[in-house]
Amino acid sequence: ALVHNLYIFDGKGRCLFYREWYRPHNALKHAGKEEDYKLVYGMILTLKHTCKQLSPKSDDEDGMITYTTNTYRLHHYETPTNLHFVLLTSPAIASLREELRYLYAVIFDNFVVRNPMQNPREEIKSQGFINSVDAIVSNITMRK
């Protein structure tokens, strides 16, 4: 149970992809998926804004935010085109910058951007994409 779940949002807050590996307790179960997406995306925006306000540099934006609580760690990577990759893992996992970058640069590129059947700003249904995401996750799990 090292990797919990993954969200991919577009710049308007629509959830393009969600996948869950471990979530025994879901406080939002009854509120529905949409509420869950809204909460996460809303928090990412606020977090991003707050982080920027607190930064000692004026142009400090490399698109990566991560925070850790007692029970989980959130990794967030934003592309210049405003796609947000949000991955929740166990707090024991170190920063997954490279993995999220790989998810965008290789998997998203191959299965979404270069896929004529897929509008890059619509829900991702490609089985190849899902399989590749699972492969990254099992890779992360195995390294531990």
Say if residues 4 and 22 touch (Cβ distance below 8 Å).
yes
Report in angstroms how near the CB of residue 81 gets to other proteins at its nearest. Answer: 5
Candidates 3, 16, 83, 86: give the one binding other proteins (CB under 8 A). Answer: 83
CA atoms within 13 A on the CB side of 15: 17
The reply to whether 7 sits near other proteins by the rule CB under 8 A is: no
Give how far Cα 40 sits from Cα of 47, 55, 121, Å.
Answer: 10, 22, 18
- Pair type for strands 84-89 and 73-78: antiparallel
Q: At closest approach, how far in Å is the CB of 92 from other proteins?
A: 28
Pick from 24, 56, 59, 70 the residue near other proteins by CB under 8 A.
59
φ and ψ of 54, to 5 deg: -85, -10
Binding mask 17-56 for other proteins (x = CB under 8 A): -----------------x---x--xx--x-----------
**53 contacts 64 by C-beta, under 8 angstroms:** no
Instruction: List contacts with other proteins (CB under 8 A).
Output: 11-14, 34, 38, 41-42, 45, 59, 61-63, 79-83, 104-106, 108-109, 113-114, 120
